[in-house]
């Protein structure tokens, strides 16, 4: 890309906020009541983390894997790619994250959560709870219809935030491997939201 | 002996002279101002329709129908050029849907672009674009943002020679790569150049517009409203009272009249999702136009905003 310094973040925004939220609305309407299943998965992960039963890491990794693969296919590839030609690459990254969770967490059982129940643990649980319960409230709080609500396990943003909250509790350097895609997505999502806010004045 | 381009340029200038004389233009206030494409003399309405962001609505049926209404009203008001690109997400699909549904295929001037790094894949991309538009051929194809123009431009010229497209050109925006644009304008027989031009972004007045006049190249002005930011800024102040002297009823018309009153500009391509706005935009190409002195007042008014 020549003269790259002359491009602004808004130069890369291909769609209007209205189109983006309408896309979310049509997606939500098409898959209802899958949102309830997504929220149930989020609550189940919270319960499993607090309960700390044997093999709960495998179950949590499996649940998160299902969420990331679903979003890769059903939202990013089937929906978002209609208005953003970069979305297939996002879908590939989400699929990669799902496969990492599957391979490292379910098959190899390399995901192990740290045991101390200190402030960091409860902070992570709080962030996870916000991504599950609080994030869908952003739509009505922003003056949008409930039908544009973004729910855990169904929409990428709350899923990435909830996944980060879960995976920061993982022991060892493997944590950073697993956090890479969720953190990258948060940066992409923040940039998109900022560009949409700027573009609409 | 004068060649075809020179004769057409003089004829076009005569038409512009008439358009720029307020009293002359007032005689037919509803007539849509057209500009001759220098390379052929074909008349083109001076306000077109862009599709960046506005027509990228995916497969949402309601939004596609709304875009169809915009296109229908655009053509009914007298507009012809619709501009798109493979870069614009689903905009090409939306245009194809609207043209077919509203029965507008063949009534518009179909302008699209080639935008792909590989020169070998240019024709394939153009064919996919054509299928999305559902037209038999494009009227105009341009190399988008000069991406690999060295390989794409010969392809466009070959397609033009074979009758697969009527005009060929290049685009840039927001002042990028103007030296390259000038070099191509000097060395290649392009029909169109697309650049950013509005009362705030006037860099092209220095070199590119005079060069287009000298070389007989049609000029498309993109980003007339700076993607809406210019109109949002101007909305904070009232429209100057003297705007009525050039039949302006809104800041959008004010800006468009400034753009299309430049003698070298062929067509401005504002984008919108509003039927009211598209009619307002096309109507900017009617009524009286500013003369050189008023254009300076317009610049001052916009820069105050």
The mean predicted confidence, pLDDT, of chain B is 92
Query: Least CB-CB distance to B227: which of A82, A84, A199?
Result: A199
Contacts of A71 (CB under 8 A, 6+ apart): A94, A153, A154, A155, A156, A159
What pLDDT is attached to residue B25?
Answer: 39
The band of B289, judged by pLDDT with boundaries at 50, 70 and 90, is: very high
**Rounded to an integer, what distance in angstroms lies between the CA atom of residue B57 and that of residue B237?**
32
What pLDDT is attached to residue A52?
Answer: 83
Contact criterion met (CB < 8 Å) for A82 and B89:
yes
Count of pairs with CB atoms under 8 A, one residue in A, one in B: 54
The band of B175, judged by pLDDT with boundaries at 50, 70 and 90, is: confident
- Higher-pLDDT residue of B142 and B13 is B142
What pLDDT is attached to residue B234?
Answer: 96
DSSP state of A82: G
The band of B51, judged by pLDDT with boundaries at 50, 70 and 90, is: very high
Query: Least CB-CB distance to A16: which of B53, B174, B229?
Result: B53
The sign of the torsion formed by the CA atoms of B130, B132, B136, B137 equals negative
Contact between B198 and B225 under an 8 Å Cβ cutoff? The reply is: yes
What pLDDT is attached to residue B21?
Answer: 42
Contact criterion met (CB < 8 Å) for B176 and A2:
yes
Provide the whole-model pTM: 0.90
Q: Residue B142's closest CA among B96, B120, B173, B104? A: B173
Q: Residue A76's closest CA among A171, A175, A192, A197? A: A192
Residue B277 has pLDDT above 70, yes or no: yes
Q: Residue B284's closest CA among B304, B300, B298? A: B298
The band of B87, judged by pLDDT with boundaries at 50, 70 and 90, is: very high
What pLDDT is attached to residue A201?
Answer: 66
Contact criterion met (CB < 8 Å) for A14 and B232:
no
Residue B67, classified by CB atoms within 10 Å of its CB into exposed (0-12), middle (13-18) or buried (19+), is: buried
Integer-rounded Cα Rg, in Å, for chain B is 18
Contacts of B30 (CB under 8 A, 6+ apart): B286
What pLDDT is attached to residue B30?
Answer: 67
**Rounded to an integer, what distance in angstroms lies between the CA atom of residue B188 and that of residue B185?**
6
Averaged pLDDT, B29-45: 92
* Contacts with B232 from chain A: Cβ below 8 Å: 201
What pLDDT is attached to residue A29?
Answer: 98
Percent of chain B with pLDDT over 90: 88
Query: Least CB-CB distance to B60: which of A2, A22, A201?
Result: A22
**Rounded to an integer, what distance in angstroms lies between the CA atom of residue A91 and that of residue A79?**
11
> Which A residues in the span 72-101 are in contact with B, Cβ-Cβ below 8 Å?
79, 82-85
Split chain A (201 residues) into runs of 10 and give each run's mean pLDDT. 70 92 98 98 97 90 98 98 97 98 96 89 97 97 97 98 97 96 98 88 66
Residue B65 has pLDDT above 80, yes or no: yes
What pLDDT is attached to residue A114?
Answer: 87
């Amino acid at each position: 890309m020549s003269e790259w310094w002359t491009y602004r973040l808004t130069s890369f925004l291909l769609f209007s906020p209205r189109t983006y939220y309408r896309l979310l609305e049509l997606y939500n309407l098409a898959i209802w009541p899958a949102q309830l299943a997504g929220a149930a998965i989020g609550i189940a992960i919270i319960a499993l983390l607090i309960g700390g039963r044997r093999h709960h890491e495998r179950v949590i990794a499996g649940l998160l894997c299902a969420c990331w693969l679903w979003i890769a296919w059903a939202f990013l590839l089937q929906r978002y790619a209609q208005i953003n030609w970069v979305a297939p690459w996002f879908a590939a990254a989400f699929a990669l994250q799902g496969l990492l969770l599957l391979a490292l967490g379910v098959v190899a059982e390399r995901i192990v959560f740290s045991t101390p129940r200190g402030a960091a643990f409860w902070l992570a649980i709080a962030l996870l709870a916000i991504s599950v319960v609080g994030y869908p409230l952003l739509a009505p709080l922003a003056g949008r219809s409930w039908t544009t609500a973004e729910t855990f396990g169904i929409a990428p943003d709350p899923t990435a935030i909830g996944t980060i909250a879960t995976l920061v509790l993982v022991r060892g350097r493997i944590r950073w491997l697993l956090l890479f895609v969720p953190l990258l997505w948060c940066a992409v999502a923040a940039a998109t939201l900022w560009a949409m806010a700027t573009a609409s004045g | 002996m004068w060649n075809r381009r020179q004769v057409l340029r003089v004829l076009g200038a005569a038409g512009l002279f008439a358009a720029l004389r307020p009293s002359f233009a007032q005689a037919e206030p509803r007539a849509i101002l057209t500009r001759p494409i220098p390379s052929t003399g074909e008349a083109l309405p001076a306000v077109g329709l862009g599709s960046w962001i506005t027509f990228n609505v995916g497969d949402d049926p309601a939004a596609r129908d709304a875009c169809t209404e915009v296109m229908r009203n655009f053509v009914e008001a007298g507009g012809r050029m619709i501009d798109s690109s493979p870069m614009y997400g689903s905009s090409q699909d939306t245009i194809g849907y609207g043209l077919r549904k509203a029965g507008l295929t063949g009534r518009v001037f179909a302008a699209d672009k080639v935008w792909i790094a590989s020169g070998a894949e240019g024709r394939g991309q153009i064919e996919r674009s054509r299928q999305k538009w559902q037209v038999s051929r494009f009227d105009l194809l341009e190399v988008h943002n000069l991406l690999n123009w060295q390989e794409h431009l010969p392809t466009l010229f070959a397609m033009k020679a074979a009758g697969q497209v009527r005009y060929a050109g290049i685009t840039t925006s927001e002042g990028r790569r103007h030296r390259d644009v000038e070099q191509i304008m000097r060395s290649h027989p392009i029909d169109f150049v697309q650049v950013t031009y509005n009362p705030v972004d006037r860099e092209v007045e220095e070199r590119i517009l005079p060069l287009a006049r000298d070389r007989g190249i049609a000029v498309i002005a993109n980003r007339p409203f700076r993607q809406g930011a210019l109109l949002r800024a101007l909305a904070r102040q009232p429209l100057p009272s003297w705007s009525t002297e050039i039949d302006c009823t809104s800041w959008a018309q004010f800006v468009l009249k400034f753009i299309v009153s430049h003698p070298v500009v062929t067509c401005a391509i504002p984008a919108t999702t509003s039927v009211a706005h598209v009619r307002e935009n096309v109507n900017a190409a009617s009524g009286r136009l500013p003369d050189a002195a008023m254009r300076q007042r317009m610049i001052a008014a916009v820069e105050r905003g």
